[in-house]
Amino acid sequence: KILHIHQEMYHLIEPVKDELETVEQIIIHYKEDNCAEIDYDRWLDRFPPDPFPRAGLDENDVCSLLYTSGTTGNPKGVMLTHRNNYLHALSAMHHLRVTDRDVYLHVLPMFHVNGWGSPFYYTANGATHVCLRKPSAEAIFTEIIRHNVTVVHMAPTVLNSLLQYNAEHHPAIEQDVRVVIAGAAPPPAFVERVEKELGWEFIQVYGMTESTPLTLVSVIRSQLGGLDRDTQLRLRAKAGFPMIGSDVRVLRENDEEVAHDGKEIGEVTVRGHGVMLGYWKNPEETMKTIRNGRLYTGDMATVDEYGYIDIVDRKKDIIISGGENISSIEVEGVLYEHPAVLEAAVIAVPHEKWGETPHAFVVRKADAAATEEDIIRFSRERLAHFKAVTGVTFVDELPKTASGKIQKVRLRNEYWEKLGKTERFVN
């Protein structure tokens, strides 16, 4: 019934505000004089400061209604309960070693899966929050230095921009910093660059809105401390092992666990205190996603001999070429090692002989001059030939959601449209 909005965002609402069927009041934060809506501070001053009785809450009542990003289909409203959020905070604060001495910089927007979870466990410990309205590499470094920031959560694309900025400007940061990355696990070389060039501790996590969100964390456990550095880097670049309170298993189509050999691929499933109540007013999708008490994530993965889970792709993004499963994430990881590649996304495209093959969309670094033949040859030298890209499209930028996720469904649709095909990838 009430829409709270910042003055800077009001221009997005103004053209459609008369079409909002349920909104009765629009309250503006930092209202400008020429805006006719209600000013937040004046609205707040109308109420007495005295305590007031609060409605009773049950731990199973819905606390948060969060929408999925829509990278593979239409967004769905995820219902998370007070119990979900509370118990997840206890688990996450332990694994991320949160204390009241931490200073947390909000780089991610609050609608990002690795952004909205963090206020619960940092606030619970009395950590300091520093908000960043418009993130840029320069602004992030400025705030880290100004406020003595000790921990940040961000997407790999943002961290990549920080590495580039650091290489050019060399900002001086004296305190220890932990950087928590969610999303596609990076190649081990990326982890090493962060720790060597920035001097920050790299922590990879995995989760999704439907699991409140985090379920896996990738740090080196004490019993594996004797492994060589290359092996440790490979482990830390994976999604990781289950956090407390999350039973995470990678299952075959028959719901049996895959072999812990780092090769067999199955679907990541989660059972635990973070699993959502369901999708808002969408029982059909809820039943598809939660079966026998387990959340089926749609992410495909392997499990290695140490129990570390490695996400190889979204179920809908796996490339099947000549009967072989190819992880687009693995191919992208190799392309990121090319000195001219700033960003890369790999999709399946039709092939007369093999059914489909990997095709790369590449954003080149400034002043880089790599050709399609260069990229193809580079991938063939580092991958089995059936996994190597067979074509490259150079673009100025990759389509992304507001949270920074690459929208492969748009890349697929646009590619097929150029072929003159009528088929559409809708999921």
Question: Which long-range contacts (C-beta less than 8 Å, at least 24 apart) are formed by 216-222?
Answer: 216/240, 216/241, 216/242, 216/243, 216/246, 216/248, 216/309, 217/95, 217/96, 217/241, 217/243, 218/185, 218/308, 219/95
pLDDT at position 403 = 63
8 Å CB contact between 258 and 250: yes
Contact yes or no for 371/402 (Cβ under 8 A): no
pLDDT the model gives residue 160: 87
Give the whole-angstrom CA distance, residue 16 versus residue 11: 10
Burial 48-87 (b: 16+ CB within 10 A, else e): eeeeeeeeeeeeeebbbebebbebbeeebbbbbbebbbeb
Helices H / strands E in the chain, number of each: 13, 23
Distance, CA of 366 to CA of 391 (rounded, Å): 21
DSSP string computed for 252-318: -TTSPBPPSSS---EEEEEEETTS-SEETT-HHHHHHHEETTEEEEEEEEEE-TTS-EEEEEETTT-
Q: Which CATH number applies to 62-314: 3.40.50.300, 3.40.50.1370, 3.50.50.60, 3.40.50.12780?
A: 3.40.50.12780
- The pLDDT value recorded for residue 142 is 97
What gap in Å lies between CA 39 and CA 57, rounded to an integer? 30
Helices of type H across 308-400: 328-335, 372-382
Neighbours of 341 (CB within 10 A): 20
Residues of the chain with pLDDT under 50: 421-427
In eight-state DSSP terms, residue 196 is: I
pLDDT attached to residue 156: 81
pTM equals 0.79
d(CA 312, CA 268): 10
Task: Please give the DSSP secondary-structure letter assigned to residue 175.
Answer: S
Collapse the DSSP code of 412 into the 3-class scheme (helix H, G, I; strand E, B; otherwise coil) and give the result: helix
CA angle 424, 426, 427 (to 5 degrees): 135
- pLDDT score recorded for residue 302: 94
Q: Rounded CA gap, 359 and 388, in Å? A: 9
CATH class of segment(s) 319-419? alpha beta
Question: Are the C-beta atoms of 72 and 410 separated by less than 8 Å?
Answer: no
pLDDT at 158: 87
Residue type, 57: L
What's the confidence (pLDDT) of residue 424? 38
For the chain, residues classed under CATH 3.30.300.30 are 319-419
Of 311, 317, 369, the C-alpha closest to 338 is 369
pLDDT at position 400 is: 83
Q: What is the DSSP string of 115-138?
A: HHSHHHHHHHTT-EEEE-SS--HH
- In the chain, residues under CATH classification 3.40.50.12780 are 62-314
> 211: which DSSP letter?
G
Q: How far apart are CA 314 and CA 329, in angstroms?
A: 9
